[in-house]
Amino acid sequence: MPAAGQNPKKAVPTPFTVGEFAIAAKERLSLSAIVAGEGLKHRVLEPMTNRPGLALTGFYEHFAWRRLQVIGKAEHAYLSSLDPQTRVERVRELFRRRAYCLIYTCGMAVPSEILRLAEEAGASVFSTRRLTRDFMHAGAFVMADLGAPRMRIYGTMVEVAGLGILLEGDPGMGKSETALGLVKRGGALIADDLTQLRLDYAYGRIIGSAVEVARNYMEIRGVGIIHVPSVFGVTSVLHEKQLDLVITFKRLSDVEGDMDRTGCDRRTRTILGREVPQIVIPVSAGRDLVNLVETAAQQHKLRLAGYDAARSLDERLCANAMGK
């Protein structure tokens, strides 16, 4: 995973192990470990599933050993039709060819000789009640989530007017206090201080969430640590949200002379290989940052809907000048 605050141009997939897949799939896919041990440490080299039908017949050319091997009813029925010695040899050969995980679907019982061979090879064996096609379909989403490129960035993420907004800036700029004010106005906290971002390949979007240990908590200078849903209710927090806008707080002295007064400039931040709209808000004593962020969110929604206030005003001024 990239270091906190890093902003890579290229999205790099995140590696994960069989054990991490098992944890993620335990509830979603009704996955139970039968043989685990050292096999859980194997890295999933290709985040896909494979039904080793041809390999079980003794044809190993193009055998996709890097994937999780799924034993459905067809594979189980074929193995059961073989004599015990041939069946053991065929499964042993899968492990010799570096298959590191077998998953039995449809709630089928795993034969004892398969378990013994897996233990000898240091492989894992799992079982699920799910139908084979359902498991393979849902498993693809679990692995896509686990393998999604991700990074951590210093900043506070909130939902405002239905948009996921990342507030970033130097320490002491008022990010958490601004987020607190937005939550009190009906917004929702996603992450405070450190936000975890991952790339959703399916939709080409970036999803933000909190680091698990700090989820739902905020640090407010002078107040201390608060548990947001206990103070403001369960609707004051969200587990995750699409990142729609980055708002960067900068000291007024740092942006004077380079300030966009009309909103015509279109800034973006490159995060995990995707361009995310960015707005820079100057911070100085007396500025109401809560109001400014809320207004920026509404303004961004209007732009997404096709209305640009700066362009509209420019057209009116031009029309008025021509009328004279």
Average pLDDT of the chain is 90
Which ranges of 49-155 would DSSP assign to H, the alpha helix?
A: 53-56, 73-81, 84-96, 112-121, 132-146
- Backbone angles phi and psi of 7, in degrees to 5: -130, 75
> d(Cα 278, Cα 100) in Å, to the nearest integer?
45
Q: Which two tokens stand for residue 263?
A: 């909103």
What's the pTM?
A: 0.72
267 CB contacts (<8 Å, ≥6 apart)? 277, 278, 279, 280
Backbone angle region of 11, left / alpha / beta, with phi > 0 → left and psi within -120 to 50 → alpha:
beta
Task: Answer for the pair 246, 166: CB distance below 8 angstroms, yes or no.
Answer: yes
- Beta bridge partner(s), residue 150: 198
pLDDT digits (tens, 9 = 90+) for 48-104: 999 999 999 999 999 999 999 999 999 999 999 999 999 999 999 999 999 999 999
H/E stretch holding 274: strand 274-283
pLDDT at residue 8 in the model = 45
Q: Decide if pLDDT at 142 tops 90.
A: yes
The closest of 139, 153, 138, 132 to 198, measured between CA atoms, is: 153
The closest of 193, 203, 286, 184 to 244, measured between CA atoms, is: 203
Q: How confident is the model at residue 6 (pLDDT cuts 50, 70, 90)?
A: very low
pLDDT at residue 156 in the model = 97
Q: How confident is the model at residue 321 (pLDDT cuts 50, 70, 90)?
A: confident
Rg of the chain in Å (alpha carbons): 27
Residue type, 273: G
3-state helix, strand, coil in the chain (%, to 5): 40, 30, 35
The closest of 150, 262, 133 to 209, measured between CA atoms, is: 150
- Which residue bears the tokens 């896919």? 29
Q: How confident is the model at residue 292 (pLDDT cuts 50, 70, 90)?
A: very high
Task: Answer for the pair 278, 206: CB distance below 8 angstroms, yes or no.
Answer: no
Angle at 287 between CA 286 and CA 290, to 5 degrees: 125
Q: Which two tokens stand for residue 286?
A: 């007396």
pLDDT at residue 207 in the model = 95
- Backbone angles phi and psi of 80, in degrees to 5: -65, -25
pLDDT at residue 159 in the model = 97
- Which residue bears the tokens 């050969």? 93
Q: How confident is the model at residue 3 (pLDDT cuts 50, 70, 90)?
A: very low
- For residue 14, give the 3-state DSSP assignment: coil
What are the structural domains, with CATH classification, of the chain? 18-146 (3.40.1390.20), 150-314 (3.40.50.300)
Which ranges of the chain would DSSP assign to H, the alpha helix?
A: 18-28, 53-56, 73-81, 84-96, 112-121, 132-146, 175-184, 228-232, 252-255, 289-304, 309-323
**Range of 94-108, 196-210, 274-288, 306-320 with top mean pLDDT:** 94-108
Q: Decide if pLDDT at 7 tops 60.
A: no
- Torsion of Cα atoms, 72 then 77 then 78 then 84, to 10°: 120
